[in-house]
Chains A and B, each alone.
Chain A
Amino acid sequence: MRDASPAKIYALHVGVIALLFALNFVLPDYHQGLFARIMALAVFAMGYNLLFGYVGLLSLGHAMFFSAGLYGAGLTVYHLGWGVAEAFIAGIACGALLALVIGLLALRTSGVAFMIVTMMFAQVFYLLILYFAAWTGGDQGLVVQQAARTLNLDGAPLDLTNPTVRYMSALALFAVVLIATLAVVRSRFGRVLVAVRENEERTKMLGYDTVANKLAAVVLSGTICAASGAAYALLFGYIGSSFASVQYSILPLLWVLLGGAATTLGPLIGTLFMYYVTDITSGFTSAYLLIVGVALILLVLFAPKGILGSIRQRWLGWLP
């Protein structure tokens, strides 16, 4: 990575946030709703990217962190009648705690074994959701009622089902996580994570506790994914086991690969690209997943570092 002034880098990210803010006022209704969903899920991808892109740990179990947030927030509203803010915090706390436990266990492995162990834990989590169907709604899932999805800010109710409020809420979360991610990857801690990815043995030899750093990365990654899940439950009003299935562990991997692993803005670009390819092509053919597959193969062949990764490699070496 070629050096660039922090001001330039932060200006780019603030510019992206400003662009997304402005889009709220010009996007047609449908795309406004789609962008809200994409931003919420891009947070999921950013959490995944932190571990996969910067630490080099390929997890196939991140659906459990996303759904820990989803259920942590959704079930506290559904069963306990909690408010939106408390439920959101509960969702994040569930994800953080789960990530800590899973991290402690799964980080005893590495490489392919880490991938398999995380996938197995996610499968256990998925089956637990089905097993406790009386509380979770099982495979059918549960609806978080519209009336319960209102954020009370000092007596001023904020209806999260309102398209603009929803868009701005998703953007707020996205912006916080984007800037936080940027700060993390530019920090001393972030550089240690990249060092672990590049050569863990050498990093250890230099005196760093790589296990502790990796554990911190797992917890941070899981917490961000849980924030995405919690926001999804509260913004879109549905919690269901399909979000804990292996498909939702693979999706963030694809989004990150498409957008560019180890780039801060890649997860947004990947999520956006995949959503729109699916949305547009499904209007023409039922074989739209084939088109998505072909697009992925072409990207792997001609832009193996993903969209933003390739741009960084060829033109903008300073991109974080």
Chain B
Amino acid sequence: MADKNGFFDLSKTTLSRRTALKGMAAGAGLALAPGFVRYSQAQSSAPIKIGFQLHRTGIGAAYGRWYDRTSAAAVKAINDAGGINGRKVELVIEDDGTDPARGAEVVNKFATQHKTDIVFGTLFSHVVIGSAPAAGENKIPYFVVSEGHHVASTKLNRYVFQPGITDVKSQIQSMAPWIAANAGKKVTQIFPDFAFGYDHRDYLPPALKAQGADVIAQIAIPPTESSFTKYFPQIPAETEVIYHVMVGPAVLTFVKELGEFYGSQRPQLFGFMDSLEAVDINSPGLEFLDGSHFWEGSPRYAQPDDSAAQKAYRAAVGIDDNGAAAGDPKDVSTASHMFGCWETLYVVKKAMEDAGYKGSEDRAKLVEATEALKEFAEGPEHPQGPKTFNGKIHQCFGIQNISKVEGGKLKVVHKTKIEDGLYEPEGDYTKQAL
């Protein structure tokens, strides 16, 4: 289309003083117009946007599915109760592919494209560690539900928090008194030969030593291994407890072959539920686990003494008494971890309210308000149990469950105390500049 009137011809534009004054007056009028004021109000009552970094694909997808459901349920509950500071909460989801490089891109995307208020997510340690620099550089608070010790190690940065789930160091330490008192004092560890296994390798021996028990052998299994029988002769004959933390699809083969190796005469078995998250405990091959014990973050199966808050949480998330999706018994939940999403979102709510959070300009205040938190009482916001929070290391501490496999279910036989999992802080994030 021809530009007959010279509309796009900037060279023909002349600006007289009168025209300029008219323009300025019109601009000022527009800024003060009712419509513009309404727009400003709409900004302050706009939803709080939470960037949700999710393992939708990749090795963490089973966790991601349940993290998604739990977080959606928590946001619905928060919004139904009036939101945060009177504003609705909106989750903006991006898939990190359970990949650290993509995880960092996703954090950048939340900060610079979606312009979310905070970032929230995700489980796998390498994704959290890979994403942490991006959170620090963008100065955007990054609340993770990862369980790893990396946040509490103070090797990340001031913008990374883990207030809704305990870290693995604390969990392992909490198990030691019960193992030494009830299972046995000579422990052989079997763990995968990568970081998750190393946490157990490094933190269990001193914790058991303090209880008068010993790790008498440590057997690291390479991550590429698909058959385990050749490792079992390394288990010393005097072993009273086998402490196993095999994760991933190999766990079924591992348990089956362990059963074939020992038959009916076996030492006590103690494992971490990470091995069997999203896996039916009654899967063929797992019969050998009957009578053995597991750490559980939050019980998969409904317990007779469940609190009203726990019952309400399970109903809101949509899990049945067996810890599977209501209506789909084969869709087993990741109960030991996903509660952390629910609780973290309520910590975010509390911290935003304490900080009087209005927008991204208050992110530093939000960091300081989160660091100032001390404890979370058990209740609808924290259905897993009471917790304390150490603002210097950005990590919460809570109770743990020890459950026994009985009749194809997991029955909680012991709950640890918060103090069982406390340890000396390894640093202080609050000394870092904001």
Chain A interface (Cβ < 8 Å from any Cβ of B): 28-30, 33-34, 37, 127, 130-131, 133, 137-146, 161, 236-238, 240-243, 279, 282-283, 286, 288-289
Q: Are B129 and A141 in contact, with the CB atoms below 8 A?
A: yes
List the A side residues contacting B137 at CB < 8 Å.
146, 161, 237
Which of the listed residues A28, A131, A286 has the most CB atoms from chain B within 10 Å of its own CB? Answer: A286
Q: Does B126 contact A (CB under 8 A)?
A: yes
Interface string of B152-182 (1 = CB under 8 A from A): 0001110000000000000000000000000
Which of the listed residues B100, B132, B157, B222 has the most CB atoms from chain A within 10 Å of its own CB? Answer: B100
Interface string of B108-130 (1 = CB under 8 A from A): 11011100000000000110011
Known: A33-B108, A282-B94. A133 touches B194 (CB 8 A): yes
Q: Are B129 and A240 in contact, with the CB atoms below 8 A?
A: yes
The residue on A at minimum CB distance from B433 is A147
* Bound-state Cα–Cα, A139 to B248, Å: 15
- Taking the closest CB of chain A, its distance from the CB of B216, in whole angstroms, is 22
**Which of A137, A243, A288 touches B195 (beta carbons < 8 Å)?**
A137
List the A side residues contacting B130 at CB < 8 Å.
141, 238, 240, 242
Q: Are B101 and A242 in contact, with the CB atoms below 8 A?
A: yes
Known: A30-B108, A33-B112, A238-B100. A139 touches B194 (CB 8 A): yes
* Bound-state Cα–Cα, A238 to B434, Å: 20
* Bound-state Cα–Cα, A279 to B222, Å: 34
Q: Are A138 and B194 in contact, with the CB atoms below 8 A?
A: yes
Q: Does B206 contact A (CB under 8 A)?
A: no
Interface string of B99-110 (1 = CB under 8 A from A): 111001100110
Q: Does B262 contact A (CB under 8 A)?
A: no
Question: Interface size for chain B: under 10, 10 to 19, 20 to 34, or 35 or more residues?
Answer: 35 or more
- A sample of 5 inter-chain contacts (CB < 8 A) reads A34-B108, A130-B194, A139-B223, A142-B155, A242-B99
**Which of A127, A131, A236, A288 touches B133 (beta carbons < 8 Å)?**
A236
Q: Does B231 contact A (CB under 8 A)?
A: no
* Bound-state Cα–Cα, A127 to B134, Å: 27
Q: Does B259 contact A (CB under 8 A)?
A: no
* Bound-state Cα–Cα, A279 to B105, Å: 9
List the B side residues contacting A141 at CB < 8 Å.
100, 126, 129-130
Q: A30-B108, A130-B193 are in contact. List 8 more A-B contacts (CB 8 A).
A: A30-B109, A30-B113, A33-B112, A137-B195, A143-B156, A146-B157, A241-B126, A242-B126
List the A side residues contacting B223 at CB < 8 Å.
130, 139
List the A side residues contacting B186 at CB < 8 Å.
none
List the A side residues contacting B133 at CB < 8 Å.
143-144, 146, 161, 236-238
- Taking the closest CB of chain B, its distance from the CB of A66, in whole angstroms, is 12
